[in-house]
């Protein structure tokens, strides 16, 4: 895209963001970025001011997962460095987030003055984000600003990873004397011979297998590969499972979908089927410890076809530079239809209610109740800990997102803000622990300000339950809040205290009817947890 005559750098940046279908920018103002905020506020973009920069970063990440790109904008150092964690998460989990930071002006930096928010060198923040993003740039040269904006945006959209732009405040209103556009970025070219060789090897391995299986990861969602993945499965009559991070990558009503695979964290029968397969076709899956059940996975590398965005591995044969092209090629290959035999379709097993009206609710019963509460228009957001592990086995009629690899606590509530602004037709339902809520839960104030109505279920066991499984001690305990009374502090929303099955059912029903956000506090015994977390805890203890 070329920069039109008379357009300022900030106007060009706003236009390019709008070109991608983005309509919201998350952040917190500061003097180094306030001029850019003023220009955003006068554009079609809506500024979403959060309670904290980390909340803004998580919200932008969730927005990106739903809409294809998220944008977060903050001031220099005190704002930008607080985004280091959320940007690292977006990089680790391949979420396309554009980070924009204000900075001291070029003229202000002359003679190396000691300016507020400065750490050491003026370039320190840029150097930090160079390590956390797929592309970064300082927009300090008017002649190259447009091309740098385009370069970073294209890399973010191509790689599905965050990018960083640093905007000195004296560049915001600059109109470049020379109007330049960016040269089109060349797409990587894969040699036909390489693709043919990989197709032949993969197709031969699939056809020779007696019980192949497809393991779908979050890359299926990120790169829009659902149609191709299902096409491969249906052509070869190959059952599918999903990783925890990619739990909603495959619709659960798909006849060939079994459920979640995650070592000991996933469904036991599904795990046995996947690990017993003689050909595991991984599509867009990340081989992380958490996504594969904290290294409790038992898949033999010699039985894997691993297809990612930038490489294909077949057994121990690596094809660098070859990516999802192979998935398309396999759809045209001569694949046999397989007899799958007994397949454990765990996704079709609706969990029983399991909640006794007049007795205390257990963690397992909460997940059962949530499974029955969810509707197609909802989005389930699981925070880190048992909130995540407990969702592994429940059946979902709706999309699911979580920080299931990077595992940064506190993603859930700000994530709900991002999800509902990205897709207003969806209603977020958050499951979070009390520890995670205490980190970022006050972003319910942001939800109230912008008229959003997520349902937030707080599992209150007085601390960090997952860590208690590893080493139980006073360091795992936290101070107790009255979570159900948080709406009283904010002056908006509904609060419910659900100790029994009857109270939980009533709270969920009331939350469903309400047009405001709801917090449902569920008190649990200190050592209560889901079956998945108990299995994982025992496995970790054995390993340690």
What phi and psi values does residue 136 have, to the nearest 5 degrees? -150, 160
The pairing of beta strand 70-74 with beta strand 24-27: parallel
Fold of 363-537: Rossmann fold (3.40.50)
Domain 9-168 matching CATH 3.40.50.970: the answer reads yes
- Measured CA to CA, the distance from residue 483 to residue 365 in angstroms comes to 20
CATH 3.30.70.120 is held by the domain 192-348:
no
User: What pLDDT score was predicted for residue 499?
Assistant: 95
Q: What was the pLDDT predicted at 20?
A: 96
Domain edges within the chain: 9-168, 192-348, 363-537
Tokens of 170: 């004296």
Residue listed under structure tokens 């009374």:
485
Say yes or no: do domains 9-168 and 363-537 share a fold.
yes
d(CA 256, CA 253): 9
Q: Which residues of 439-473 are buried (b: 16+ CB within 10 A; e: fewer)?
A: bbbbbbbbbbeeebbbbbbbbbbbbbbbebbeeee
Taking alpha carbons only, the member of 280, 281, 263 closest to residue 271 is 263
Q: Per-residue pLDDT for the chain (544 aa), expressed as one digit of tens each?
A: 566 778 999 999 999 999 999 999 999 999 999 999 999 999 999 999 999 999 999 999 999 999 999 999 999 999 999 999 999 999 999 999 999 999 999 888 887 887 888 888 889 999 999 999 999 999 999 999 999 999 999 999 999 999 999 999 999 999 987 555 554 544 544 455 689 999 999 999 999 999 999 999 988 988 889 999 999 999 999 999 998 888 888 988 899 999 888 766 667 788 889 989 999 999 998 877 666 654 445 678 889 999 998 889 999 899 988 889 999 898 778 888 988 667 877 665 554 455 567 788 999 999 999 999 999 999 999 999 999 888 887 888 899 999 988 889 999 999 999 999 999 999 999 999 999 999 999 999 999 999 999 999 999 999 998 888 878 899 999 999 999 999 999 999 999 999 999 999 999 999 999 999 999 999 999 989 888 888 777 766 666 6
Identify the pLDDT of residue 44: 98
Residue 181 and residue 352: Cα distance in Å, rounded? 59
Q: How far is CA 345 from CA 96, 97, 401, in A?
A: 33, 35, 22
């Amino acid at each position: 895209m070329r920069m039109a005559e008379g357009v300022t750098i900030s106007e060009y940046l706003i236009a390019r963001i709008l070109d991608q279908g983005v309509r919201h920018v998350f952040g917190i103002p500061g003097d180094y970025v306030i001029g850019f905020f003023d220009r955003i506020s006068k554009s079609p973009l809506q500024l979403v001011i959060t309670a904290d920069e980390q909340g803004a970063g998580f919200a932008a990440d969730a927005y990106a997962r739903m809409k294809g790109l998220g944008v977060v904008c903050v001031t220099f150092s005190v704002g930008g460095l607080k985004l280091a964690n959320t940007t690292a998460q977006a990089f680790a989990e391949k979420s396309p987030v554009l980070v924009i930071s204000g900075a001291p002006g070029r003229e202000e930096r002359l003679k190396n003055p000691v300016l507020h928010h400065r750490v050491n060198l003026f370039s320190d923040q840029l150097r930090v984000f160079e390590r956390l993003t797929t592309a970064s740039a300082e927009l300090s040269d008017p002649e190259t600003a447009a091309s740098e904006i385009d370069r970073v945006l294209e890399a973010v959209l191509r790689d599905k990873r965050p990018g960083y732009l640093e905007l000195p405040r004296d560049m915001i209103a600059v109109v470049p004397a020379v109007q330049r556009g960016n040269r089109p970025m060349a797409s990587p070219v894969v040699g036909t011979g390489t693709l043919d060789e990989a197709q032949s090897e993969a197709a031969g391995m699939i056809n020779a297998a007696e019980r192949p299986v497809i393991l779908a990861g979050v890359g299926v969602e990120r790169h829009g590969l659902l149609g191709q993945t299902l096409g491969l499965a249906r052509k070869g009559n190959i059952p599918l499972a999903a990783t925890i991070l990619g739990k909603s990558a495959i619709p659960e009503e798909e006849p060939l979908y079994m459920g979640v695979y995650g070592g000991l964290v996933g469904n036991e029968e599904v795990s046995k089927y996947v690990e017993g397969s003689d050909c595991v076709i991984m599509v867009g899956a990340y081989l992380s410890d958490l996504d594969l059940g904290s290294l409790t996975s038992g898949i033999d590398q010699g039985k894997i076809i691993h297809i990612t965005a930038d490489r294909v591995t077949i057994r121990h044969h690596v094809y660098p530079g070859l990516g999802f092209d192979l998935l398309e090629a396999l759809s045209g290959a001569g694949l046999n239809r397989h007899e799958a035999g007994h397949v454990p379709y765990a996704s079709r097993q609706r969990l029983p209610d399991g909640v006794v009206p007049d007795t205390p609710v257990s963690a397992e019963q909460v997940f059962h109740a949530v499974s029955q509460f969810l509707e197609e228009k909802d989005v389930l957001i699981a925070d880190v800990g048992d909130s995540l592990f407990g969702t592994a086995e429940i059946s979902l009629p709706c999309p699911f997102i979580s920080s299931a690899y990077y595992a940064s606590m506190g993603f859930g509530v700000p994530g709900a803000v991002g999800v509902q602004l990205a897709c207003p037709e969806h209603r977020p339902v958050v499951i979070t622990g009390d520890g995670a809520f205490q980190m970022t839960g006050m972003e319910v104030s942001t939800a109230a300000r912008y008229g959003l109505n997520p349902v937030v279920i707080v599992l209150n066991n007085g601390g960090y339950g997952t860590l208690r499984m590893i080493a139980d001690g006073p360091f795992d305990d936290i101070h107790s809040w009255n979570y159900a009374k948080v709406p009283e502090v904010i002056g908006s929303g509904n609060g419910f205290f659900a100790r029994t099955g009857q109270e939980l059912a009533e709270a969920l029903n009331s939350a469903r009817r309400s047009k405001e956000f709801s917090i449902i506090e569920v008190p649990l015994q200190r050592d209560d947890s889901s079956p998945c977390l108990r299995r994982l805890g025992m496995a970790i203890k054995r390993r340690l």
